[in-house]
Structure 1
Amino acid sequence: MTPMGRVTLATRIYAPEPAAAAFRLRALATALVNEGLSVTVLTSRAPLRGGERGEHSSGVDVRRFPVLRDRTGSVRGYVPYLSFDIPLFFRMLVAPRPDVVVVEPPPTTGLAVRLACAIRRVPYVYYAADIWSDASAALAPRFVVRALRALESWVMRGAASVIAVTDGVAERAKELGARGVRLVRNGIDTAVFTPAGSAHPNAPTAPYVVYAGTMSQWQGAEVFVRAMALVREKVPDAVLVYLGQGASWQTIEREARKLPDGGRCVRMLPPVPPAEASAWLRGARAALVSMRPGAGYDMAFPTKILAGLASGAPVLYAGSGVARTVVAQQGLGRTADWDDESVAAEMVTMLEKALDGEERRQLARWVDANASWTARASEAAKIIRGALPEGAR
C-alpha cells in the first residue's frame, strides 16, 4: 500500500530508550505504518548506555537531535525539556509539511507543537498519558502549577483530538477544555514481555522482587527499600532488585546503606532492554509498583503493572488510585498502603510463596486479553487517521 497521509510524532523520548512511553510510541508508529501512513519521528538523541542502539526501521523515519540529560541519563526538568522543545519548534518549521502531528507531554512540548502547527496550518493530536499540572500540584509552587495548568489547557484546547490513557485522564482533559477526547488504555508488547523462557542468568537464587522502571519523586519507589529492614526479619535471604533510573535513585541508595547488612540485599541496576527486564521479572516473586499518594497520579495506571503481569509476575502495588482497584479486583497480586509496615507485610507474603507455571501464565493471559500493545496502538492509529485532512486519509 502506497502511503497517503504523512504523520509526524514529536516526542522527547523514543525507542530504544528504556521507558514505557518510548515503546508505546514505537508501537504507535508501527501501527500508523500498517494503516498505510508515512511516519516521521522527531525526537532526542538516545543515550548510548543501556539497551538497544539500533533504529527501528519498518518504514519509520526517526530523526534525532541532541538534548540535555540529567546525571541519570533522563530528559527530566524544565531546562532539559526546553533543550528539546525550542529546537523542536524550528525543526518542525523546516521539515517537510506533515498532514497531522502527534505530540507527547510535557505541555512545553505541546506549546512548541501548537505554535509550529498554527504557522503551518497543520492539525495535531495530543497523546495525554497523564495530567502534568495535577501531578505538579503537590511539589511545585502554586503560581507554577497555575501557569502549567493554563498552558496544558491551551495546548489541549488546540488539539484536533486528545488521546487519554485512563478514564480519569479523559475526564480531566475535558475539564481543561479538550475536545474530541478519546480513551486508549495503556498496553504492553506481549511478544517481548512473556512468561515463556527462563529467568535472567544474573538473578538471585534466593527469593527476590523487582522494581523495573522510572524512579521519580511521584512514584516513591524508596518505600520498598525502607520496608526491607522488616522484610528481612521474616525472609532473611530476600533480595530487592531495582532496574531503571530517576530522581529517587540517590535516595534509594542512601536508604539501602542504612539496612543492617549495609544494603547487600539491594541490587540497583541501570535500565535494560525490554526482553532483559522481562527475564528479571519472570523469576521474581513480585513486580513492585508504587505511586505516592497525593502526588496527582491517582488516575494513572503504570505500565510497570503490565510488564510484570505479562512476564508472569504478580504485582505488589503500593499506593492508592485506580491501579490499586484494578489489581485488587482482578486478582493480579496484592496491594498495600504507601508505608513501610504495610508494604513489608505484603512483600513477605509474596516472597514466601512462589506461583506455579500455570498461575504465571494465567496472569500473562489477562494482559493478552486486556492490554496487548498491538490492539492498543491500532486503536490510537485509527484516531490519528481520523484527524487527517479529508484527502490524506
Structure 2
Amino acid sequence: MTDKRPLKVTVASRLFTPEVGAASFRLQALVDGLVAQDAEVSVLTTRPPHGSPAFTAPYKLSRWPVLRDAGGNVRGYVQYMSFDLPAFFRLLFSPADVVVSEPPPTTGVMVALSSALRRRPFVYYAADIWTEALSATDVPGIVIRVMRAAEGFALRRAAKVIAISDAVAEKVGEFGVPADRVVVVGNGIDTSVFGPAGESAGTGDPYFVYTGTMSEWQGADIFIRALPAVLAEHPGASIRFFGQGSDEPHLRELAAQTAPGRVHFGGVIPPAEAAQWIRGASGALVSIKPGQGYDFAKPTKIYAAAGCGTPVIFAGTGEGAALVADNGLGEAAKYDVDSVAGAMRRVLDARHNGDDDGSRDARAGWVERHASLANSGQHAAAAVLAVAQSGR
C-alpha cells in the first residue's frame, strides 16, 4: 500500500529567516519550494538576534537559544556546539522522512549521527566547502584537519548532496562522494527584493557598496587600499560597507589610516534596505583573495548587485571573475591595487557620463533569467523530496 500522508521534512540550520544572510535566504527558498509541493516542513534553528523583525511561517519553526559572539553571530566552535549538541537530541525526537543539513560540518555530523540512529536519510546542502574557506584563515592546521574530516564524514553519508554550482559539486567529489549523489541546483537571490525597481539610497555623492560577510579570505581590504587612487580623480567618492565578519576590525583600522572619512560601516541591515543602497551605488564591490583555495566560489553578492542593475567590480580570479566578465555584469579586475582602482574609476566615469544606463536593465534581466533564488529553491526541494520518497 502506498503511504499517502505528506512527506515530512526537517531542516536543521543555525541560521534562518528573519536573520539576514545568504544561508537564510537560500533555506527560505528551499522551504518555500517544499511547502509548494505539499511537504510537511519543520525547521530546527536558533532564536534570532535581539531586534530582529517578527516572522511568522506556515510551517513549524522550533527555535533554540544559542550562544552568539560579540557581533551577534553564531560563529565560532563554542557557538556552533551550542546549537549542534541540542540539535542532535532535538532531531532524535523529530519525526521526519528526510532531514536537510546546512553547514557548518559540525551540524552535518550531528545530522548524520541522528539520522543513522533513526534509520532515515539526510541531505547535505553544500552552499560552499567549509574547510576551503577555513584554510584561508589564520587557524591551526589541526583544526583544519579535524573540520575537514567532519565535513567529509557528513558529505559521504548524505543520501544526496545539493551543490549550488558545478565548481562546488566538483569539490564535493574530492571527498569521495559519487557523482550520482550530487545534484547542482544553482544559486541566486530574491529578485522581488534585489531588482532594479524601487527606491535608491545615497546622499548625492558617488559611492561604492560592499554588502555581506567580511572574512579574511575575501580580502575586501583591496578596495580600501585602492581608494586613494580613485579619490585623486573623484574626490567625492566613498565606500559603504554593510554586514559584518571577522575581518571588520582590520578593515576599519585600514580605512582610518588610508582614507579617513571616506569609508563607512553600516552594520547588518534588512535586505530591502541593502537593495536601496545597492541601487544607488555607482558600483558594488566583491572580492575573493586568490590562492586561498576558494577561487571556485560565486558570491551571492554578485547576483544581488547585478539584480539591482548595479555594475559589479570583482577583484580576484576563478569562477567569480568569469561570472562577471562572461555575462556583462561589470568589471573583473586582478587582485591588485592598480587594477582595482582602474576598474573603480571606469565605473565612476561611466555612471557620471550616463554610459551605463542601458546596461543596468541588461544585468537585471540576466539575473532574472539565470539567478532567481525561487527557481533554485524549487530544484533543491525536488531533490529533497525525491530522497524522502525513496526512503519510505
Distance 2:61 2:217 in 1: 30
Partner of 2:382: 382
1:56 deviates by 4.0
- Could you tell me how far apart the structure 1 residues matched to 2:157 and 2:359 are? 46
Q: Does the alignment pair 1:209 with 2:202?
A: no
- The one-letter code matched in structure 2 to 1:242 is F
Give RMSD over aligned pairs.
1.6
Is 1:103 aligned to residue 101 of structure 2? yes
What's the secondary structure of 1:211's corresponding residue?
Answer: strand
Question: Would you say the 8 A contact 1:136–1:296 is kept in 2?
Answer: no
User: 1:181 and 1:346 mapped to 2: Cα distance?
Assistant: 37
- Tell me the CA shift for residue 3 of structure 1: 6.5
- The letter of the residue matching 1:149 is R
Aligned to 2:367: 367
C-alpha distance in structure 2 between counterparts of 1:65 and 1:356, whole Å: 47
- Find 1:114's aligned residue among 97, 104, 112: 112
Moved over 6 A (4+): none
Please give the per-residue CA displacement for 1:46-97, whole angstroms capped at 9, x wherever unaligned: 1124xx512241x2211111111122222111111111111111111233x1
- After superposing the two structures, state which structure 1 stretch, 335-344 or 323-332, moved more: 335-344
Unaligned runs of 5+ in 1: none
Equivalent position SS for 2:216: coil
What is the SS of the residue equivalent to 2:232? helix
TM-superposition CA deviations, 1:226-270 (whole Å, max 9, x none): 22122111110001110111111111110111135x2x1111101
Query: What is the CA distance between 1:105 and its match in structure 2?
Result: 0.7
Within 1, Cα distance between the matches of 2:144 and 2:372? Answer: 34
Name the residue aligned to 2:55. 55
Q: What does 1:1-393 correspond to in 2, within 5 Å?
A: 4-49=6-51, 53-57=53-57, 59-95=58-94, 97-139=95-137, 140-179=139-178, 180-200=181-201, 203-260=202-259, 262=260, 264-354=261-351, 356-390=356-390
Residues 134-160 of structure 1 show CA distances to partners (whole Å, capped at 9, x for unaligned) of: 222243333332222222111111101
Output the amino acid matched with 2:125: Y
Q: Please tell me whether the aligned partners of residues 255 and 263 of structure 2 are also in contact (alpha carbons under 8 angstroms).
A: yes
* C-alpha distance in structure 2 between counterparts of 1:350 and 1:75, whole Å: 36
Kept in 2, the 8 Å contact 1:190–1:372? The answer is yes
Question: Structure 1 stretch 210-219 or stretch 67-76: which is displaced more?
Answer: 67-76
Using structure 2 for the length normalisation, give the TM-score.
Answer: 0.94
Length-normalised TM-score, structure 1: 0.94
Tell me how far apart the structure 2 counterparts of residues 389 and 313 of structure 1 sit (CA, whole Å). 42
Give 1:42 deviation, angstroms: 0.6
The one-character-per-residue Cα deviations of 1:81-140 (angstroms, maximum 9, x if unpaired) are 111111111111233x11100001111000111111111112100001111222222433
Q: Secondary structure at the match of 2:342?
A: helix
* Whole-Å separation in 1 of the counterparts to 2:307 and 2:59: 27
Return the letter of the residue paired with 2:294. Y
Letter of the aligned partner of 2:375 in structure 1? A
Deviation at 1:294, TM superposition (A): 2.1
SS in 2 for 1:126: strand
Contact 1:17 1:46 in 2 (8 A): yes
Gaps of 5+ in 2: none
1 CA distance for matches of 2:228 and 2:362?
32
How many residues get paired?
383
Kept in 2, the 8 Å contact 1:318–1:337? The answer is yes
Q: Which amino acid aligns with 2:123?
A: V
Change (3 A) 1:168 1:30: same
Secondary structure of 1:388's aligned partner: helix
CA distance in 2, matches of 1:312, 1:213: 18
Give distance in 2, aligned partners of 1:3 and 1:337. Answer: 54
Question: 2:136–2:216: 8 Å Cα contact kept in structure 1?
Answer: no
Given residue 296 of structure 1, which amino acid in structure 2 is its aligned partner?
G
- Deviation at residue 361 of structure 1 after TM alignment: 1.5
Give the Å deviation of 1:390.
Answer: 4.2
Farther off after superposition, 308-317 or 149-158: 149-158
Aligned equivalents of 2:183, 2:218: Cα separation in 1: 26
Quick one: distance in 2 between partners of 1:231 and 1:267? Answer: 16
Identity score, percent: 45
* Whole-angstrom CA distance in 2 between matches of 1:162 and 1:310: 27
CA distance, structure 2, for counterparts of residue 90 and residue 164 of structure 1: 27
Q: Secondary structure at the match of 1:387?
A: helix
> Is the CA contact 1:222–1:252 (under 8 Å) kept in the aligned structure 2?
yes
